[in-house]
Amino acid sequence: MPSLNQLFGSELKVINLGLSGFKQALDDAHVPAVQVDWKPPIEVDGRLLAKVKALQPAIDAANATVTKVILSGMPYLVGLERAVEVVPGMKENMLLHAGPPITWQRMCGPMRGAVIGALLYEGKAQTPEEAQQLAASEAIEFSPCHEHAAVGPMAGVISASMPVFVLQNEGYGNYAYSTMNEGLGKVLRYGAYGEAVIQRLKWMENALYPVLKKAVAKLGKIDLKNLIAQALHMGDEVHNRNRAATSLFYRTIAPAVVRTCDASATVAEVLEFINQNDHFFLNLSMAASKATLDAARGVKRSSIVVVMARNGTDFGVQLSGTGDAWFTGPSDVPDALFFPGYSRADANPDIGDSAITETNGLGGFAIAAAPAIVQFVGGSSEDALRYTRQMYEITAAENNIYQIPGLNFRGTPTGIDVRKVIEKNILPFIDTGVAHKEPGVGQIGAGVLNAPVEPFKRAFEGFAKGLYKK
């Protein structure tokens, strides 16, 4: 047992919580001291806090189960198919979208643009006006990608005949789906629906899809976890930077494309398309994260986040232990660097399913692995290290495969625990692209943001209330 006299006899070592001036004085006196960046906890009902605290051992055990599932996930790319043929629950008159559920009336500009584009692409409307009328009618059913084992970047719209990557999480057997990345500029995911956009989507359907399908079939499967782990060592965090991962994917797929496609012009087109798009891998890193996290859903009493997603209006969160419930709040505008000619006033609130990467210990959580893009987080690699370090405070585990060279190959912070988010008032850190708020303008910048507090507060409350239900 410690005693006061024991304190008198030993060297003073101090933890300072609060005014940093006191730490300064200790530094001057050469007394070892650590300053805590203390913040008040997020305010939630004290009775709910007590409920959660009372069940701490059970929750910890449930979370250990969940993190084990996440860490042992083995996502492979196993094929490509049309959405309607493989995506569970997909229908002819259905459009999947990013983020939590939303009606046409509440959709932001880029999401509406993508819906219009998808209806034109499907031939369900001939003009944008017709498409709008159709979207506003009851004839089209909207549903979140996440409720169909799928993910989509930005607007994330997936329609019935669009080709999708098919991923399987080996060991757990579950599948995940995502579209192929269209590249930059005027693209559907940013809400563009002009003729060139539809034409590109058609080319992807008629040329890219069959070629890649055959190539993947030739390879059998592609180990995406291994590829992502390598990319982290090469300066990607596979959300805002996918250059290394795209290159690795290209090296893997190119020989198979050449071997399985006879038309050399098409081979060239396909390989050039992938080669010219640094973000081609993004949709795969998202789907790999989705496949990994979906296996961890539905563990009773687990407070681990399995979905963070935005639809450009709302930010939604799902926990392993709260079933299919969405906890939502308004989505914020990212703090971004804007392309010339654009400013914060042009920016749409945060949008897309890509925050699934952060949920899986990648993206903003692994920003320390990506020094090339630290301009987005304050300019120095020290800033990036700080962001990643901070995320360890709200996660349940360190990744066994995804590592950060700059942190001595420490595993990335993985498995957000909503209890820690509330207690420490540290919100998940997301690095992301920024869409123009008008449909079709495209990406206008890239930047970072902390997830908004509201959805996490509601998730904690929903979690606590559900703890005692049978």
Partner 1 sequence: MIIVGQIKKGAYFDSVTLMRVGKELAGLPGVADAAIVMGTKSNKAILHSSGLLISKFDEAGDTDLLLAVKARTQPAADTALASVDGLFTKATRKAGTDGETRPSSLAAALQVMPEANLAIVSVAGRYAGDVAWSALESGLHVMLFSDNVPLETEIALKKFARKRGLLVMGPDCGTAIINGVPLAFANVVNRGCIGIVAAAGTGLQEVSCLISNAGAGISQAIGTGGRDVKQEVGGIMFIEALKALAGDKQTRVILLVSKPPHPEVLRRIERVIKGIRKPIVTLFLGAETRKGGPSTLEEAALQAVALTRAQNPAEAASQLAVRNQYLNKLAKRAAAGRKPGQKYLRGLFSGGTFCAEAQVLFRAVLKNLFSNAPIRGVKPLHNSLVSQKNTVIDLGEDEFTVGRPHPMIDYSLRNRRILQEAEDPETAVILLDVVLGYGANPDPAAELSSVLRQAAAKVSVICSITGTDQDPQNRGRVAAALRKTGAAVMPSNAAACGLAGWIIQLLCPP
Minimum distance, C-beta of residue 249 to partner 1, in the bound complex (Å)? 35
Minimum distance, C-beta of residue 310 to partner 1, in the bound complex (Å)? 17
Under 8 Å between Cβ of 312 and 351:
yes
CA 58 from centroid of its chain's CA atoms? 28
CA atoms within 13 A on the CB side of 354: 29
Contacts of 5 (CB under 8 A, 6+ apart): none
Minimum distance, C-beta of residue 41 to partner 1, in the bound complex (Å)? 7
Minimum distance, C-beta of residue 409 to partner 1, in the bound complex (Å)? 18
State phi, psi for 30 to the nearest 5 degrees.
55, 35
Minimum distance, C-beta of residue 372 to partner 1, in the bound complex (Å)? 20
Cα separation, 239 vs 252, in Å, equals 20
Q: What is the DSSP string of 190-252?
A: GT--SHHHHHHHHHIIIIIHHHHHHHHHHH--EEHHHHHHHHHHTT--SSS--HHHHHHHHHH
Q: Which lies closer to partner 1 via its Cβ, residue 16 or residue 65?
A: 16
Name the token pair of 104: 């046409």
Minimum distance, C-beta of residue 6 to partner 1, in the bound complex (Å)? 8
**Helix-, strand-, coil-residue percentages of the chain, each rounded to 5:** 45, 20, 30
Q: Which lies closer to partner 1 via its Cβ, residue 27 or residue 92?
A: 27
Q: Which lies closer to partner 1 via its Cβ, residue 28 or residue 138?
A: 28
Query: For 341, which DSSP code?
Result: T
Q: Which lies closer to partner 1 via its Cβ, residue 294 or residue 398?
A: 398
Minimum distance, C-beta of residue 283 to partner 1, in the bound complex (Å)? 32
Minimum distance, C-beta of residue 454 to partner 1, in the bound complex (Å)? 9
SS3 state at 106: helix
Cα separation, 152 vs 350, in Å, equals 14
Binding site for partner 1 (CB under 8 A): 1-8, 10-22, 25-26, 28-29, 31-32, 34-43, 382, 386, 389-390, 392-393, 423-427, 453
Q: Which lies closer to partner 1 via its Cβ, residue 40 or residue 173?
A: 40
Cα separation, 326 vs 309, in Å, equals 10
Q: Which lies closer to partner 1 via its Cβ, residue 35 or residue 161?
A: 35
Q: Which lies closer to partner 1 via its Cβ, residue 3 or residue 105?
A: 3
Under 8 Å between Cβ of 315 and 351:
no
Q: Which lies closer to partner 1 via its Cβ, residue 304 or residue 426?
A: 426
